[in-house]
């Protein structure tokens, strides 16, 4: 079922290419949502597997995001979603790439109590890639709005390249960056969504997520896709360190499967 292709409309594709993000409602059904919530709940508690929880309670990063990277490597149910053709093929349609590979998935929970916003940032500067073009799907597992951590995007900011990465715990103001002139946080589009809906955003698009002021976790699953042929920059990253990837060669192999 998750292997079915979804044909995006021309206006969705054009909107993504113009603005660097797009909202797609009901990317999963109510039954799939229930399954995904169950699997995510199970995988968040895994100890000693291949997925990585990037920080624990008590650490400042945890107040921004309780994040687990590569859930698909520890849970067959997560793998069904993360490796699904439905999402990857939508990424292919949006980017126009000939092929799409997985870079990694990450469960992104904003925990209640002392939750901090995810500051304005671009994703691409964190990734060990020479070319831009990689992007994420962000699937809401809960209804999201400004009270519990919905996202905001600055339209057309995907055109801004060569900025330094933003530290998510001690952020600098990306809008003050010399290379970001013309970008305006007041132009940001707030994306409130129902659980089971998603956004896709380019790795260069400026985005932000509100703090979670409710008593329940805000649960999301993000999956990062890269155009087939994207090459390794040699920079350090949790998902590539120790793999002996060759600088300037395509990122490929079993941990980065071609999905569409
Ligand atoms: O979920 C969040 O709070 C932020 C997500 C994000 O920055 C991303 O998916 O790139």
**133 CB contacts (<8 Å, ≥6 apart)?**
95, 97, 202, 203, 226, 227, 230
Mean of the per-residue pLDDT values of the chain: 97
Q: What are phi and psi of 136, to 5 degrees?
A: -125, 145
pLDDT at 1 over 80: no
| DSSP 8-state assignment for residue 67 | E
Give the CATH number for residue 69. Answer: 2.60.120.620
Of 67, 208, 222, the one to substitute when testing ligand 1's pocket (max ligand atoms within 8 A of C-beta) is 222
| Residue in 236, 234, 221, 229 with CA at minimum distance from that of residue 256 | 229
What are the start-end ranges of the H helices in 57-158?
A: 60-64, 76-82, 85-95
pLDDT at 234 over 80: yes
Whether the Cβ atoms of residue 25 and residue 56 lie closer than 8 Å to each other: no
- Whether residue 71 is contained in a domain is answered as yes
- The residue contributing the CA closest to ligand 1 atom 1 is 108
| Ligand 1 pocket, residues with Cβ under 6 angstroms | 65, 108, 110, 118, 123, 136, 138, 149, 207, 209, 220, 222
Q: What are phi and psi of 183, to 5 degrees?
A: -90, 140
123 Cα: distance to centroid of ligand 1 (angstroms)? 9
110 Cα: distance to centroid of ligand 1 (angstroms)? 10
Q: Predicted confidence band at 131 (pLDDT cuts at 50, 70, 90)?
A: very high
203 Cα: distance to centroid of ligand 1 (angstroms)? 11
The mean per-residue pLDDT over the stretch 44-68 comes to 96
**Whole-prediction pTM value?**
0.98
Between the alpha carbon of residue 259 and those of residues 5, 23, 25, 100, 122, the distances in Å are: 12, 21, 22, 6, 24
pLDDT digits (tens, 9 = 90+) for 155-186: 999 999 999 999 999 999 999 999 999 999 99
CA atoms 121, 127, 132, 137: torsion sign: negative
- Whether residue 260 is contained in a domain is answered as no
Query: For the chain, how many structural domains are there in total?
Result: 1
pLDDT of residue 3: 87
Range of the domain at 180: 10-226
| Residue in 124, 256, 93, 87 with CA at minimum distance from that of residue 202 | 124
- C-alpha 31/C-alpha 229 separation (Å) is 35
**215 CB contacts (<8 Å, ≥6 apart)?**
112
Pairing outcome for strands 100-110 and 118-121: unpaired
- Whether residue 181 is contained in a domain is answered as yes
pLDDT of residue 44: 96
The mean per-residue pLDDT over the stretch 70-87 comes to 98
The tokens 């469960």 sit on which residue? 107
212 Cα: distance to centroid of ligand 1 (angstroms)? 13
- Whether residue 250 is contained in a domain is answered as no
- Whether residue 245 is contained in a domain is answered as no
pLDDT at 19 over 80: yes
The mean per-residue pLDDT over the stretch 219-229 comes to 98
**45 CB contacts (<8 Å, ≥6 apart)?**
none
- C-alpha 63/C-alpha 55 separation (Å) is 9
Nearest atom of ligand 1 to the alpha carbon of 207? 7
- Whether residue 234 is contained in a domain is answered as no
């Amino acid at each position: 079922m998750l292997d079915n292709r979804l044909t995006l409309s021309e206006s969705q594709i054009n909107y993504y290419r113009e603005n660097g993000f797009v909202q797609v409602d009901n990317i999963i059904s109510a039954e799939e949502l229930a399954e995904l919530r169950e699997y995510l709940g199970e995988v968040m508690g895994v100890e000693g597997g291949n997925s990585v929880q990037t920080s624990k309670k008590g650490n400042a990063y945890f107040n921004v995001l309780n994040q687990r990277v590569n859930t698909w490597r520890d849970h067959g149910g997560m793998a069904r979603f993360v490796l699904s053709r439905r999402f990857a093929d939508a990424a292919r349609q949006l980017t126009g790439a000939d092929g799409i590979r997985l870079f990694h998935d990450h469960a992104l929970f904003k925990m209640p109590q002392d939750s901090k916003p995810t500051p304005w940032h671009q994703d691409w500067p964190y990734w060990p890639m020479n070319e831009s073009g990689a992007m994420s799907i962000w699937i809401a597992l809960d209804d999201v709005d400004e009270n519990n951590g919905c996202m905001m995007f600055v339209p057309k900011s995907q055109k801004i390249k060569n900025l330094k990465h933003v530290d998510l715990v001690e952020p600098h103001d990306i809008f003050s960056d010399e290379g970001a002139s013309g970008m305006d946080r007041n132009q940001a589009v707030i994306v409130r969504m129902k659980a089971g809906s998603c956004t896709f955003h380019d790795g260069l698009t400026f985005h932000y997520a509100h703090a979670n002021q409710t008593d329940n976790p805000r649960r999301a699953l993000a999956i990062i896709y890269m155009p087939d042929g994207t090459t390794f920059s040699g920079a350090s990253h949790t998902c590539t360190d120790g793999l002996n990837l060759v600088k300037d060669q395509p990122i490929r192999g079993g941990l980065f499967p071609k999905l569409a």
